[in-house]
Copies of this chain bind each other. A is one copy, B any other.
């Protein structure tokens, strides 16, 4: 067979895998947006079967042969960059899926399922002791697996790399510590300022139908393409790319808290704009997706926090919102509205935390995960370590483990290395924004005039189109001209919250 034919056969094999993955994604979307209750148990069998099929294809003898042969062709300079990146992606997946002995991995998957359900009970009952033995077992698996998977400097690097390729503990320790040092004093200053911007009007009744209309208009205005997507309600909002022509967003409507649906929609819109604008040339390849969770989150946070919670955005959109909300905000000025949507207060629950305090929630989890993996701390110590760090970083201690160490599902599944990407996304976003301000000197004005096409075009050219053709740190460097530099993030927060809360200069450096 000629190389050309061989490559075509390889790409056909890859497309077949992706087609099954697309079917699985539709099934998940359906389950999460309104599949009837009684559908679930048999539908799970379908998902399991298709997932097993894709898994088998990813580690088959055919795949092994394809990878070796294609790697030779790549070394000989005979393949396109797209094919090279595809092979690299699949090689990583192949190695990850084959290095761990199948029986141990299957035992782990079973353990995950039990652990997750015990976690849910333990959280409900506020009973950490119940969860402890299961989490201990999960962590033993993670420690064992990292030996199979291999690592250079730190064990944690291996897991981090699964979500944020190229990111390391060395780098994270450095940037997180810098951010923490600057953030903690700001958070303290804000929480002792005596100011609370909350407003009763934000809890007024707004019908689901009305909120839906507003969200649809926001999406359209930000450049979301409804010919390649749709908006649906769900209990836990997400965006999902089924194929490049079908990137769906979801949101949750609270009839006495319209603010939530608004900003969760803008957040998912940021994710969706990324996937909708990946180059069609990558269609049918596994690299037709975001570069990493961190880069993905940079896009959602750029839209939600930096644009959507900016004064400029509401200067342009508040009059219309007031009109749409039919008197609900009659006595709330633009200035007050801007403040209420940016109200900051240390709180216990990560997913409800505001822009300023959120990164500190992430750091607590990161430090604990790393130490657990290295065996520096034991599971039994978690509640006290958790509360100690909460006090140190946020100045508050949860009264129950349910609001503390038991709040997130991630550890029960052994998802280590995931949390840092949320904070990285916020840092990337601030750095990208700083570049946009240089390259689009009228950046604020664009927001003030709802000219989002210019912003989207810039993101498309500089980030979106590449999908996973580039590694996250490469994207950041190509776009901003430098490596991750948290100065932008710290400056952004310091400037915004100093002004909002009329603080004395907090970090005199």
| A residues neighboring B (CB under 8 Å) | 15-16, 19-20, 22-23, 26-27, 30, 34-43, 45-46, 49-50, 209, 225-230, 242-246, 248, 283
A43 to chain B: which residues have CB within 8 Å? 22, 26, 242-243, 246
State whether A283 touches B39 (Cβ < 8 A): no
State whether B23 touches A23 (Cβ < 8 A): yes
Most buried by B among A16, A26, A45: A26
Known: A26-B26, A41-B245. A228 touches B36 (CB 8 A): yes
State whether A39 touches B209 (Cβ < 8 A): no
State whether B23 touches A242 (Cβ < 8 A): no
Identify 12 residue pairs between A and B in the complex whose beta-carbon atoms are under 8 Å apart, listed by A's number: A19-B50, A20-B46, A23-B46, A23-B50, A26-B26, A26-B43, A37-B228, A37-B245, A38-B228, A39-B245, A43-B246, A209-B209
How many angstroms from the CA of A23 to the CA of B50 in the assembled complex?
Answer: 9
State whether B46 touches A22 (Cβ < 8 A): yes
Q: How far is the CB of A42 from chain B (nearest CB, A)?
A: 4
State whether A49 touches B228 (Cβ < 8 A): no
Number of copies of this chain that the complex holds: 2
Q: How far is the CB of A254 from chain B (nearest CB, A)?
A: 20
- A23-B27, A23-B46, A37-B245 provided; 5 other pairs, C-beta below 8 A? A19-B46, A26-B26, A36-B226, A36-B248, A42-B245
A226 to chain B: which residues have CB within 8 Å? 36
State whether A19 touches B45 (Cβ < 8 A): yes
Q: Which residue of B lies closest to A226 (CB)?
A: B36
A50 to chain B: which residues have CB within 8 Å? 19-20, 23
Q: Which residue of B34, B229, B242 contacts A230 across the interface (Cβ within 8 Å)?
A: B34
Main secondary structure of the interface of A (DSSP, over half): helix
Q: Which residue of B lies closest to A38 (CB)?
A: B245
Known: A23-B23, A30-B30. A229 touches B46 (CB 8 A): no
Q: How far is the CB of A467 from chain B (nearest CB, A)?
A: 15
The 7 closest A-B pairs by CB, nearest first: A38-B245, A39-B246, A38-B228, A42-B243, A19-B46, A37-B227, A19-B49
How many angstroms from the CA of A38 to the CA of B227 in the assembled complex?
Answer: 6
A36 to chain B: which residues have CB within 8 Å? 226-230, 245-246, 248
A23 to chain B: which residues have CB within 8 Å? 23, 27, 46, 50
A248 to chain B: which residues have CB within 8 Å? 36
Q: Which residue of B lies closest to A284 (CB)?
A: B42
Q: Which residue of B lies closest to A16 (CB)?
A: B49
Q: How far is the CB of A272 from chain B (nearest CB, A)?
A: 11
A40 to chain B: which residues have CB within 8 Å? 245
Q: How far is the CB of A33 from chain B (nearest CB, A)?
A: 10
Q: Which residue of B lies closest to A15 (CB)?
A: B45
Q: Which residue of B lies closest to A34 (CB)?
A: B230
Q: Which residue of B lies closest to A248 (CB)?
A: B36
A37 to chain B: which residues have CB within 8 Å? 227-228, 245
How many angstroms from the CA of A38 to the CA of B276 in the assembled complex?
Answer: 11
Q: How far is the CB of A100 from chain B (nearest CB, A)?
A: 26
How many angstroms from the CA of A227 to the CA of B23 in the assembled complex?
Answer: 23
Q: How far is the CB of A38 from chain B (nearest CB, A)?
A: 3
A242 to chain B: which residues have CB within 8 Å? 39, 43
A228 to chain B: which residues have CB within 8 Å? 36-39
Q: How far is the CB of A415 from chain B (nearest CB, A)?
A: 26
A42 to chain B: which residues have CB within 8 Å? 22, 243-246, 283
